[in-house]
């Protein structure tokens, strides 16, 4: 199957690799290097000169209760987003898998939210739940529930989790549906003849056979929750109330560009870089082992 | 162990009828093979017995109990699928034990039953392996083993040998037959391969377009086909069909003569034909001849006879008894 091409000189292979190397260098290595360099300086309040502090920024950050709280926030947020978006997507995919008539329409409708940019999704949800003009907030008010995510930390967290998960469900749904349809019908039928009811079949046959898909989605969704949810949080809560929704990547932005502490912001970027690297390694090392391919 | 009865069973998908009323009585321990071309509804019929397809009308009984409404698991059947349908993430042992575990069979009994099946199927060295680490024939055996351990009333086979290579197919065919004899379980076996049907069946059912054209012992069906379709489908090379008038028969529409019932001679007999080409297979030779109006006729003769050279004109002769006459409706007259 594998076709290997052998080049005679080094010019052509170098030329073919060049675009990728240039892109990686400009958009990854250069900014990452810049961040590492910057993380060792503290700028003065007017940004006129900087002072070298070595690992001082890191030392300060690790002792900072706000920064440590942001870790917990991030863990809760990304955990919830991953579980909600994958759980709902799996449920919908199971339903769609059993559907024969109208499955095309159903699928198309479910895929639409994926086309909505996170920031736009954030604005949509913000308007629905707006404490003064929001439709949902108003109906909740009629039911006697006083919705106010501007003041209530749990409500704020719930709202950004739902808004972040919403578009993500489409993406996960596509993969779960493809995964479910890749399981041979006869294997499920064999299990049915063997006496397994729907839930037993799901637990013992479908779920294990779906695990490569689930694992892939787990990695992708955690990374999504860490970084790409910035737009949602920025539009809905801007990290508040009381920093209750300030995840690490949002703190990088607010400390650096709002608080103008570029040294600390850069140090946080470096920590984030390491954290995601470690998470991915852990996921591939420990979880992948339990995946049946 | 049980009898299996299909009573005027019908199946429609919307307005399309795929099974037009099939009646079968399978005796206890009997091996029944359903044979037919693809699309004749044989697999659908088997899946209806398994409970994987609904029954539009009619009744299916397993051991005198109506099972139309029963779930697959309640019918006390086991099925071997064409693609084996093994659970890819489980070991051979777990594949075989799956049904027993769900039925909450005690652990030592599961181990004992799997051990017996594994011994019977020579799978003992592979119990810890995953299906992907097995050859096609071994996977087939695991699928059989999974069916055996549950001690079902009826075995259902859905073209179980069609994914194997020719040599293995012959070997597994014998093994299945032997196994069925040994266990004495009532079996329903679906195939499109007439050789499998002829060799395995106690009785065979030839299906054509959703109807059972003929039910009978393999040799009976071969020697005495009731319809034109059965005469053409069973037997290889296929029966030669000629218009009744062209061979001097005044009733019916077509006359079928099996290739081995035609003798080639130099002296005038019934029809003259020109040798188009010969296929010498060693033990026998297939001679293909062209009649004056262009139709091809196949003659099977012993391999010891001299090979007629291509282009020579020969005479075709046969006994009256060899002629199978069929009417306008395709039925035997």
Burial string for A140-176 (b: 16+ CB within 10 Å, else e) reads eeeeeeebebeeebebbbbbbbbbbbbbbbbbbbbbb
Closest Cα in chain A, distance from residue B165 (Å)? 21
Contact B72 A196 (CB under 8 A): no
Distance in Å, alpha carbon of B34 to nearest chain A alpha carbon: 20
> Minimal Cα–Cα distance from A285 to chain B, Å?
20
Q: Do B83 and A186 touch (CB under 8 A)?
A: yes
* Dihedral pair phi/psi, residue B49, rounded to 5°: -65, -35
Residue with tokens 């699309």: B39
Decide if B78 touches A, using CB distance below 8 A. Answer: yes
B244 touches chain A (CB under 8 A): no
Distance CA B16, CA B245 (A): 37
**Measured between alpha carbons, how far is residue B200 from residues B6, B192, B281 in Å?**
21, 13, 24
How close, in Å, is residue A184 to chain B by CA atoms?
Answer: 8
CA atoms within 13 A on the CB side of A195: 19
Contacts of B234 (CB under 8 A, 6+ apart): B35, B194, B197, B198, B206, B221, B222, B225
Q: Which class would CATH give B237-326?
A: mainly beta
ipTM: 0.80
CA distance A191 to chain B (A): 8
In angstroms, the separation between the Cα of residue A291 and the nearest Cα of chain B is 9
Nearest-CA neighbor of B55 among B68, B64, B39, B74?
A: B68
* Interchain proximity B99–A208, CB inside 8 Å: no
Residues of chain B scoring pLDDT < 50: none
User: Can you give the pLDDT at residue A20?
Assistant: 93
Is A233 buried (19+), middle (13-18) or exposed (0-12) by CB count in 10 A?
Answer: buried
Query: Among B13, B44, B73, B77, which would you mutate to test the A interface (most chain A Cβ atoms within 10 Å of its Cβ)?
Result: B73
**Cα Rg for chain B, rounded, in angstroms?**
24
Q: Provide, as residue numbers in chain B, all residues whose Cβ is less than 8 Å from the Cβ of A205.
A: 87
Task: Point out the residue among B81, B89, B102 whose CB comes nearest to the CB of A186.
Answer: B81
A chain contacts of residue B71, beta-carbon cutoff 8 Å: 192
Helix axes A65-98, A207-227, angle to 10 degrees: 140
Q: Residue A193 and residue B79: Cβ atoms within 8 Å?
A: yes
- pLDDT digit of tens for each residue in chain A (293 aa)? 456 777 788 888 889 999 999 999 999 899 888 888 888 888 777 767 778 887 888 888 888 888 888 889 999 999 999 999 999 999 989 888 877 677 778 888 888 888 888 788 888 888 888 888 888 888 888 888 888 877 888 888 988 899 889 888 988 998 999 899 888 888 999 998 888 888 889 999 999 889 888 888 888 898 888 888 888 888 888 877 888 888 888 888 888 888 777 888 888 888 888 888 888 888 777 666 666 55
Chain B hits for A210, Cβ within 8 Å: none
Check if B89 contacts A (Cβ < 8 Å).
yes
Measured distance CA(B123)–CA(A163) in Å, rounded: 54
B158 vs B161: CA distance, rounded Å: 9
Residues present in chain A in total: 293
The residue among B193, B218, B196 whose CA lies nearest residue B205 is B218
- Please, which residues have CB within 8 angstroms of residue A116's CB and are 6 or more apart in sequence? A124, A167
**CB spacing of B146 vs A194 below 8 angstroms:** yes
- Nearest residue to A245 via CA among A221, A269, A266, A229: A229
Measure the CA dihedral A277/A283/A288/A291, to 10°.
-150
Q: How far apart are CA B9 and CA B21, in angstroms?
A: 5
- CB contact (8 A) between residue A189 and residue B85: yes
What per-residue confidence (pLDDT) applies to A79? 93
A77 in Cβ contact with A83 (< 8 Å): no
- B87·A184 Cβ contact <8 A: no
Residue A150 to residue A241: CA distance in whole angstroms: 6
Nearest CA in chain A to B99: A194
> Is A182 within 8 Å of chain B by CB?
no
pLDDT of residue A83: 94
pLDDT at A290: 60
Q: For residue A292, give the chain B residue with the closest CA.
A: B89
Q: Which residues between 273 and 292 in chain A have a beta carbon less than 8 angstroms from any beta carbon of chain B?
A: 292
Residues B324 and B269: their CA atoms lie apart, in Å, by 19
**Nearest beta carbon to residue A193 from set B73, B82, B103:** B73
Q: What are the tens digits of pLDDT across the range B243-300?
A: 887 777 778 888 899 999 988 888 888 888 888 888 888 889 999 999 888 888 999 9
Place of tokens 């197919």: B169
Whether residues A189 and B89 touch (CB distance < 8 A) is answered with no
DSSP line for B148-159: HHT--SEEEEES
**Quick one: pLDDT at residue A292?**
58
Contact B99 A187 (CB under 8 A): no
pLDDT in the model for residue A3: 65
Distance, in Å, from the CA atom of B148 to the CA atom of B183, rounded to the nearest integer, reads: 9
pLDDT of A90 reads: 93
Nearest CA in chain B to A195: B73
Top-tier CATH class for A60-290: mainly alpha
User: Using a CB-CB distance cutoff of 8 angstroms, which residues of chain B are in contact with residue A184?
Assistant: 83, 85
Does B103 contact A at CB distance below 8 Å?
yes
| pLDDT given at position B176 | 87
Identify all chain A residues contacting B89, using CB atoms and an 8 Å cutoff: 208-209, 292
Domain borders along chain A are 60-290
The pair of three-digit structure tokens given for residue A55, joined into one six-digit string = 């690992």
pTM of the model: 0.79
Q: What are the residue ranges spanned by the domains of chain B?
A: 4-232, 237-326
Give me the CATH code for the B4-232 domain, please: 3.40.50.300
């Amino acid at each position: 199957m594998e076709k290997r091409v052998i080049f005679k000189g080094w010019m052509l292979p170098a030329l073919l690799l060049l675009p990728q190397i240039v892109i990686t260098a400009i958009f990854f290595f250069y900014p990452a290097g810049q961040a590492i360099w910057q993380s060792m300086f503290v700028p003065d309040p007017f940004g006129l000169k900087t002072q070298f502090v070595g690992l001082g920024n890191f030392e300060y950050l690790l002792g900072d209760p706000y920064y440590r709280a942001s870790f917990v926030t991030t863990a809760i947020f990304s955990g919830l987003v991953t579980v909600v978006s994958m759980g709902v997507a799996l449920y919908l995919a199971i339903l769609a898998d059993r559907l024969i008539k109208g499955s095309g329409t159903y699928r198309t409708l479910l895929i639409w939210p994926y086309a909505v940019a996170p920031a736009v999704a954030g604005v949509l949800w913000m308007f629905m739940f707006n404490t003064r003009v929001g439709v949902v907030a108003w109906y909740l008010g009629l039911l006697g529930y006083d919705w106010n995510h501007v003041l209530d930390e749990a409500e704020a967290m719930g709202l950004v989790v739902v808004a972040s998960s919403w578009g993500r469900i489409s993406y996960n749904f596509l993969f779960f549906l493809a995964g479910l349809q890749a399981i041979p019908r006869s294997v499920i039928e064999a299990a049915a003849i063997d006496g397994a009811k729907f839930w037993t079949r799901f637990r013992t046959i479908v779920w294990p056979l779906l695990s490569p898909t689930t694992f892939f989605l787990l990695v992708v969704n955690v990374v999504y929750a860490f970084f790409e949810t910035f737009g949602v949080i920025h539009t809905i809560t801007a990290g508040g109330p009381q920093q209750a929704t300030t995840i690490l990547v949002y703190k990088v932005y607010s400390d650096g560009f709002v608080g103008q502490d570029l040294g600390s912001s850069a140090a946080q970027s470096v920590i984030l870089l390491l954290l995601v690297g470690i998470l991915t390694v852990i996921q591939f090392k420990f979880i992948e082992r339990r995946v049946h391919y | 162990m049980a009898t299996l009865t299909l009573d005027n069973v019908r199946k429609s998908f919307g307005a399309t009828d795929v099974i037009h009323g099939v009646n079968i009585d399978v005796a206890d321990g009997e091996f029944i093979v359903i044979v037919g071309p693809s699309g004749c509804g044989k697999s659908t019929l088997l899946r209806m017995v398994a409970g994987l397809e609904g029954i539009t009308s009619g009744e299916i009984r397993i051991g005198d109990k109506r099972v139309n409404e029963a779930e697959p698991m309640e019918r006390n059947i086991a099925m071997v699928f064409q693609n084996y349908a093994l659970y890819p993430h489980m070991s051979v042992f777990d594949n075989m034990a799956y049904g027993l575990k769900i039925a909450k069979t005690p652990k030592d009994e599961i181990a004992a039953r799997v051990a017996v099946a594994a011994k019977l199927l020579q799978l003992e060295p592979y119990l810890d392996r995953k299906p992907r680490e097995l050859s096609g024939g071994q996977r087939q055996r695991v699928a059989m083993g999974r069916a055996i351990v549950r001690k079902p009333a009826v075995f259902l086979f859905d073209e179980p040998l069609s994914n194997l290579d020719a040599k293995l197919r012959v070997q597994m065919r014998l093994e299945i037959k032997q196994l069925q004899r040994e266990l004495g379980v009532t079996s329903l076996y679906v195939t499109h391969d007439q050789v499998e049907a002829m060799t395995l069946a106690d009785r065979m059912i030839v299906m054509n377009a959703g109807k059972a054209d003929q039910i009978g012992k393999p040799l009976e069906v071969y020697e005495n086909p009731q319809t034109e379709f059965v005469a053409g489908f069973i037997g290889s090379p296929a029966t030669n069909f000629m218009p009744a008038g062209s061979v001097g028969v005044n009733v019916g529409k077509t006359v079928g003569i099996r290739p081995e019932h035609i003798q080639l001679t130099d002296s005038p007999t019934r029809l003259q034909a020109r040798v188009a080409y010969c296929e010498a297979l060693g033990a026998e030779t297939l001679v293909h001849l062209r009649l004056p109006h262009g139709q091809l006729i196949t003659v099977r003769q012993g391999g010891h006879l001299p090979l007629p050279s291509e282009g020579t004109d020969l005479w075709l002769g046969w006994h009256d008894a060899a002629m199978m006459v069929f009417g306008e409706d395709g039925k035997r007259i």
